[in-house]
Amino acid sequence: MSLRRLVGFIHPRIAVVLHDLAMAALAWWIAKLLRYALRPDEIFGFRLLEFPIVLLVQGLIFRWTGLYRSVWRFASLPDLWNIARAVVVGSLFIGVSLFLYNRLEGVPRSVLVLYPLLLAALLGIPRLAYRYWKDSRNDLLQNQVAKRVLIVGADRAGEVLSRDLQRDNRYGVVGFVDDNPSLRGASINGHPVLGRFDQLPEVAREVAVDMLLIALPGASTAEMRRVVSLCDATDLPYRTVPRLEDVVAGRAQFNQIKEVAIEDLLGRDTVELDWTAIRETLSGRRVLVTGGGGSIGSELCRQVARLGAQSLTVVEQSEYNLYRISQELRADFPELIFDGILANCGDEAAMRKAFTDVRPQVVFHAAAYKHVPLLQDQLRTAFRNNALGTRTVADAACAVGVECFVLISTDKAVNPTSVMGACKRVAEIYCQNLDAHTATRFMTVRFGNVLDSAGSVVPLFRRQIREGGPVTVTHPEISRYFMTIPEACQLILQTASIGKGGEIFALDMGEPVKIRDLAEQMIRLAGKKPGSEIPIVYTGLRAGEKLFEELFHPLENYSATAHAKIFLAQHREVSWELLQAMLCKAAEAADVFNEEELRRCVSSLLPSFRWSETVQPDNVVSIRRANPEINE
């Protein structure tokens, strides 16, 4: 067998063990050689079992210290500490073992001092040399020129990222920028800190970098917006590492480089929740979620499953959505008792059967039609699903003694100007007033637009940008509140834990965002320039739309709750007899498709609601082109 084949046959771990034992023998021999070189008159020799004892003891100490769990390719300071520990402890135990063997005959005490120093060098130098060789060698098979990158952020994440990039031939780290004054003139992993964040455009130009890498996983949204705006000013491509909450939730890896998403700029700082109260509400409980295959409903299902619900039932009218969430939950939570029901929430017989069989203790009613322009001419469909469907589910919940019922509503139900908002407001009124006539606690949660939900403008803008534009916005001044899907669902769960019954809770949506600014930012994130490369076209407000959304009605004087991100709206009572009569009349009108009667019923329940077919401000020209699907 040739030497090359023999080396390939030996397992790398065995090769490392043999190397270290050889170094131990060599260190012991050199230590004695140096000692006797100073006293040439003394006889230099080794006892019969001297080397076996040294190698046996030192090998056991190597194993005890975990030296062989590390990889030479990534040798670093912790490995050097392990080596130092192993050689010092090994020297002590070798001394004791040789003393018991022959009372250290032929082994001067100075050998036990020289031995660990020599062995540390013989073990450490090959490891560091091997890592340096692997990190610094050029891949001759690749002709790709390494991109010069500047890391934004010189904290722990930036330092780890720079070390990882040293092993990647595609990137070459030029330096860092950071606002920490203590890092001025410092060098991290051999790369200098070149300036502050606000000096980013000048620094990037002076050092001629090709790309910027944002390493600020713990940055607030405001800080992230500032850094991204500075990156935009350089006209260079930029990437980022995931946020800490995404890493903790398992949605991303720590140093995975990804494109900056609009969620990084519009999301808010991490919400502090009372998880103990939430777990007490859901752990060991039977939970039912309507609309569980939708954007909000599916995330609610995931979080309910994580919090240890005894069983979870999903009611969904979309066959595909029910199949998708069923497959996901059964794969991720095999211990969960799961049941999927393909049904419409307005089907009284189906809801009565589902609630009787399951007998849930907590219900989240997320099923609803949400698209404002589409529902504006579909009063019967919107009312049957959003109002009468809610009544059907709520009555079924009362019949089986559900403890807690949470209606997921919308800010469009506040002082509504659209059919969708009006129908959701009727659903709110029914749940509020039903709470006073049953033991079930009914709560309503309102919030605004959710990023990347099925009805969000974000997926539309992404598609329009991908197709080269134009990006369509209804009005230059239109603004909306935004929050992420996980944040919305976490706050919904929190309201379920603090609600006493009959309340309308509104989630703190932060500051409203202009849709025009959102479109421009998404275009820039795609590496394009708004206006010149991707045009923005204003199409005019559609029927039922507002320029600004509201979170509270003027008559709903809101107050704070135990949670800083949740507010409580004052209850507005409606005559229970009038409400029941109007809903019965509306149900009859829906059965015979009498929309005029439906309008009268809605007007009786919402006297301030004004029916409007079109809303076109004078200063906006509506663009009605060949493609009627263009919308905001």
pLDDT at 365: 95
105-109, 210-214, 288-292, 325-329: least confidently modelled range: 105-109
In whole angstroms, give the CA distance from residue 464 to residue 462: 6
Give CA–CA dist 226/201, Å, rounded: 13
What is the token pair recorded at 601? 């019923």
- The 8-class DSSP code of residue 369 comes to -
On the question of a cis peptide bond just before residue 470, with omega within 30 degrees of 0, the verdict is yes
Average pLDDT, the chain: 78
pLDDT at residue 317, as a whole number: 93
What one-letter code names the amino acid at 414? V
CB-based contact 205:231 (threshold 8 Å):
no
* 78: helix, strand or coil: helix
Determine the pLDDT at residue 4. 42
Q: Is the dihedral of CA 429, 430, 431, 437 positive or negative?
A: positive
DSSP symbol at 618: T
How many CA atoms does the CB half-sphere of 216 hold within 13 Å? 27
Alpha-carbon distances of 484 from 458, 487, 488, rounded to whole Å = 12, 5, 6
* Percent of the residues in the chain that have a pLDDT greater than 90, as a whole number: 18
For residue 169, give Cα distances in angstroms to 160, 173, 257, 552.
Answer: 16, 11, 15, 55
What backbone torsions phi and psi does residue 316 show, to the nearest 5 degrees? -145, 135
What's the token pair of residue 422?
Answer: 């009006």
Q: What is the 3-state secondary structure (H, E, C) of 553-571?
A: CCCCCCEECCCCCEEEECC
Q: What are phi and psi for residue 85, nearest 5 degrees?
A: -65, -40
- Stronger pLDDT, 622 or 319, i.e. the higher one: 319
How big is the CA angle at 456 (ends 451 and 460), to the nearest 5 degrees? 115
Find, among 429, 356, 354, the residue nearest to 386 by Cα. Answer: 429
- Is the domain spanning 275-605 CATH 3.30.1330.10? The answer is no
Query: What one-letter code names the amino acid at 405?
Result: F
Which has the minimum average pLDDT: 40-49, 97-106, 589-598?
Answer: 40-49
The closest of 547, 578, 290 to 426, measured between CA atoms, is: 578
User: Which phi and psi (to 5°) does residue 171 adopt?
Assistant: -130, 145
For 302, 359, 474, the CA distances from 305, given in Å and listed in that order, are 5, 18, 39
In 3D space, the residue among 229, 224, 361, 222 whose CA is nearest the CA of residue 285 turns out to be 361
- Which sign, positive or negative, has the C-alpha torsion 610, 408, 331, 402? negative
Average pLDDT over residues 140-155: 70
Cα–Cα distance, 495 to 233 (Å, whole number): 42
Task: Specify the length of the chain in residues.
Answer: 632
| Residue 145, number of CB atoms within 10 A of its CB | 10
| Mean pLDDT of the 438-461 span | 76
Alpha helices in 103-241 (DSSP H): 109-136, 156-166, 200-206, 221-234
What region does 56 belong to: left with phi over 0, alpha with psi -120 to 50, or beta?
Answer: alpha
For 223-263, write each residue's pLDDT tens digit: 888 888 888 888 888 888 766 555 444 454 545 666 666 66
Distance of CA 125 to the CA centre of its chain: 42
State both tokens at 266: 């519009």
Closest by alpha carbon to 107, among 183, 184, 46?
46
* Angle, vertex CA 174, rays to CA 173 and CA 176, nearest 5: 90
Q: Taking a C-beta distance cutoff of 8 angstroms, is the pair 365, 290 a contact?
A: yes
- Are 147-260 and 275-605 the same fold in CATH? yes
Task: With a cut of 50, say whether residue 617 has pLDDT above it.
Answer: no
Of the candidates 614, 605, 531, 601, the one whose C-alpha atom is nearest the C-alpha of residue 575 is 605
**End-to-end C-alpha distance for the chain, whole angstroms:** 73
Average the pLDDT over 425-443 and give the result.
90
399 by Cβ neighbours in 10 Å (0-12 / 13-18 / 19+) ranks as middle
Phi and psi angles of residue 312, each rounded to the nearest 5 degrees, phi first: -135, 125
Residue-wise pLDDT for 378-410, tens only, equals 999 999 999 999 999 999 999 999 999 999 998
Of 31-40, 184-193, 243-252, 258-267, the one with minimum mean pLDDT is 243-252
432 vs 407: CA distance, rounded Å:
10
For 618, half-sphere exposure in the C-beta direction (CA atoms, 13 angstrom radius) is 0
DSSP 84: H
pLDDT at residue 287 tops 80 = yes
If you count DSSP H runs as helices and E runs as strands, how many of each does the chain have, helices first? 23, 21
Where do the structural domains in the chain lie, given as residue ranges? 9-142, 147-260, 275-605
Q: Confidence band (pLDDT; 50, 70, 90) for 215?
A: confident
Domain 147-260 has CATH 1.20.1510.10: no
